[in-house]
Structure 1
């Protein structure tokens, strides 16, 4: 490992499908690539000993291997680091964004590369949850033809409420409108979306969305303001028989409150790709055949992972070329 060259550390999962593009980055900027497969924080911070790590290609599997970040140690250990490019749209596994900003470390995510795959997952979960496909499949595997699974409902003519009409939310909205013959689409954001994103969707306040939506789809980042956004109080405001779809982050829903709402019938069914305590899933959700479950697999396909890896490279390349990333995280805009 050369002490004269700047280093780009690539965490587990980000050096798989685009090795040629990584090589082009290294040649263009005269940096050395350091694929990191370590399993401890000690190994990670040792890479910074010579203070020549300029960038980190950051991943969820890599961060989980480190068991997160002790921010006091992080502050003291990463002298020279300038940019962290996260491989994914949700970036809650990054070190504290506000601390990064204080330290002058730029952080990016990869929102563009996950849109199609995550939106397709949302479409699948919506159809499956509304049509009782999980319960029907379970009955069939038990040797029962339909069993006692009740008649389902169709999305046609229903009101879809989107919490978080950003990139993924907008792509999912377009797919659902095209495929499902929805009656109305409304959304809640902290700020009204631009007209090109909003299109024909109606901007409403949070309580209105809860009270009037037949399907509620969550597509928001996890932060202090969105943690347990859907809690017992929120579920109480919803229509009886509402359908909940979540491809965002598990902790935006109070999972126990969701379990209670399913048990009472307030929530008819749910389609979930994310969970509050991953990889653990609430036992009542596992047992409830009205809940369609996936193991956080919205981007579990070669196409999406290749795009995500390429977006990490694009952000690092842009930073090394211009001092700015293409897709900064919202706290750094």
Structure 2
């Protein structure tokens, strides 16, 4: 019988689920580090929330563990890479607390607009300051939502219910998806800040989102507007927020998260027009029960039947499958990564076609690897397991087809992506069943290894283009390693891929794009093979 250790405080419903499925369970939260080390090796699975850190010595001691379940979204307290190396599946529960977190954000918006925390404190102190607490009516106002994933989409729906006009910044939703949600999509955070009366944040903390709401963005917000952050600390520049709230540029702000937590000291606490909660986005009875039940069900499924749900690391493959799929996985990931780096986000449809030998292999890992490459530039914790789920959450339609015959190659994979920029396509094959190659771009036959620094450009098929492009690179001291050309028959246009030894800066790419007869220039970093 499989044996599970629940290492953190969790709803008793998790215990009930495990027992009902025939899984032995020990509920032992709050142990000391020494006590945890002493028992970790006795279990096949460990369920945690955020208190227990499964890293280092404790993870080393858990020699029997096959699966770790995190009752919640974030897995910062789990060494995911270490688990992957050990063959341990790490699962989270991405949907259990989405409604609760969304509702907290909306609550903060309402409370900030009506100054409820301040009015409550004043009334409790025996004052009756009706004239002091003049609020803002939400009906008819413009709300801005940064991030339209699981939580952000719910916030949009709730704000529409308050009869607000909702504007969204999320580079990973298409115009079609935005229309279906009944929101207006904007192209930049700056545009959103300048447009709305209330701005609320629902994106993860990544390199690209750290400091996203900085002094410049806050200055662009309307005077008298409101800022709410129930996502992650570090996304908002707290010094800039302090200045804007103290000066009265912002009417109010509300924070559930902080750059440094626990936030026992923060100069924002000095300001009467900023309200706070102690990172309680997931803190409701319903949410805690939901994540407990979900993690117990997922872990039981894996222990009893090997079924994997909501894993955040790559699942194990048999040795034979790994050997067969390895070159295909690399090709698929590079195809997706190339498209993700050379095509503007806002994807609405992904169509993958497998031809020849590729039609007869296990295609799901390849599709997930392709989606991982496509979405990984700016999206939260994307990997080969959860990429399909994240694509679905963004309203991206996935289509797959297979054909046992291929016109020119023994094996071929074609990736077509549709979105705000129209339709783009890349095809790839394996030489000698081992060496990945790109073989066409947007119906133009061009063959090159999917590796290194690739400059992709489209141009009118006129004399002098190659010379001018080469001159720009030479002047910048950038060496060309490979140069592949292709023509689109009967169109007067051409495509080229240049493999260079070093990455060109934005100024070099801009200079190339401004050359005569050049229609588009894109760049992708694909790593080594």
Q: Output one character per residue of 1:41-88: Cα deviation in whole Å (capped at 9) or x when no partner.
A: 3333333335xx33221202x23xxxx46x544564333433222112
Matched, 1:188 2:169: yes
- Once superposed, what is the RMSD of the aligned Cα atoms? 2.7
Q: Tell whether the 8 Å contact from 1:314 to 1:326 is kept in structure 2 after alignment.
A: no
Q: Output one character per residue of 1:271-309: Cα deviation in whole Å (capped at 9) or x when no partner.
A: 222223233244433332212222323333322211121
Instruction: Find the partner of 1:259 among 242, 261, 282.
Output: 242
Structure 1 partner of 2:28: 36
Indicate the SS of the match to 1:240: coil
Matched, 1:85 2:54: no
Deviates more, 1:117-126 or 1:198-207: 198-207
Structure 2 partner of 1:244: 227
Instruction: Find the partner of 1:201 among 183, 188, 194.
Output: 183
**Larger relative contact order, structure 1 or 2 (CA cutoff 8 Å, min sep 6):** 1
Q: Tell whether the 8 Å contact from 2:9 to 2:30 is kept in structure 1 after alignment.
A: no
Deviation at 1:182, TM superposition (A): 0.4
Indicate the SS of the match to 1:252: coil
- 1:152 and 1:8, CA in 2 relative to 1: closer, same or farther beyond 3 A? same
- Listed as ranges, the gaps of 5+ residues in structure 2 are 313-380, 387-529
- 1:85 and 1:124, CA in 2 relative to 1: closer, same or farther beyond 3 A? same
Structure 2 partner of 1:331: 382
TM-score normalized by the length of structure 1 = 0.82
Write the mapping of 1:1-333 to structure 2, written as runs, cut at 5 A. Answer: 5-25=1-21, 27=22, 31-49=23-41, 53-60=43-50, 62-63=51-52, 68=53, 71-73=55-57, 76-89=60-73, 91-146=74-129, 149-178=132-161, 180-183=162-165, 185-192=166-173, 195=177, 199-204=181-186, 205-329=188-312, 330-332=381-383, 333=386
What is the aligned residue count?
Answer: 314
Deviates more, 1:156-165 or 1:231-240: 231-240
Q: Output one character per residue of 1:184-207: Cα deviation in whole Å (capped at 9) or x when no partner.
A: x12223411683895122232333
TM-score normalized by the length of structure 2 = 0.54
- Listed as ranges, the gaps of 5+ residues in structure 1 are none
Task: Give the Cα–Cα distance (whole angstroms) in 2 for the partners of residues 202 and 293 of structure 1.
Answer: 29
Task: Give the Cα–Cα distance (whole angstroms) in 2 for the partners of residues 238 and 303 of structure 1.
Answer: 35
- 1:114 and 1:75, CA in 2 relative to 1: closer, same or farther beyond 3 A? closer
Q: Tell whether the 8 Å contact from 2:252 to 2:273 is kept in structure 1 after alignment.
A: yes
For the pair shown, the structure with the greater C-alpha radius of gyration is 2
Deviation at 1:260, TM superposition (A): 2.2
- 1:207 and 1:43, CA in 2 relative to 1: closer, same or farther beyond 3 A? farther
Task: Give the Cα–Cα distance (whole angstroms) in 1 for the partners of residues 209 and 75 of structure 2.
Answer: 12
Task: Give the Cα–Cα distance (whole angstroms) in 2 for the partners of residues 310 and 197 of structure 1.
Answer: 34
- Structure number with the higher strand fraction is 2
Structure 1's consecutive aligned runs of 4 or more residues displaced over 4 angstroms after TM superposition are: none
Q: Tell whether the 8 Å contact from 1:139 to 1:147 is kept in structure 2 after alignment.
A: no
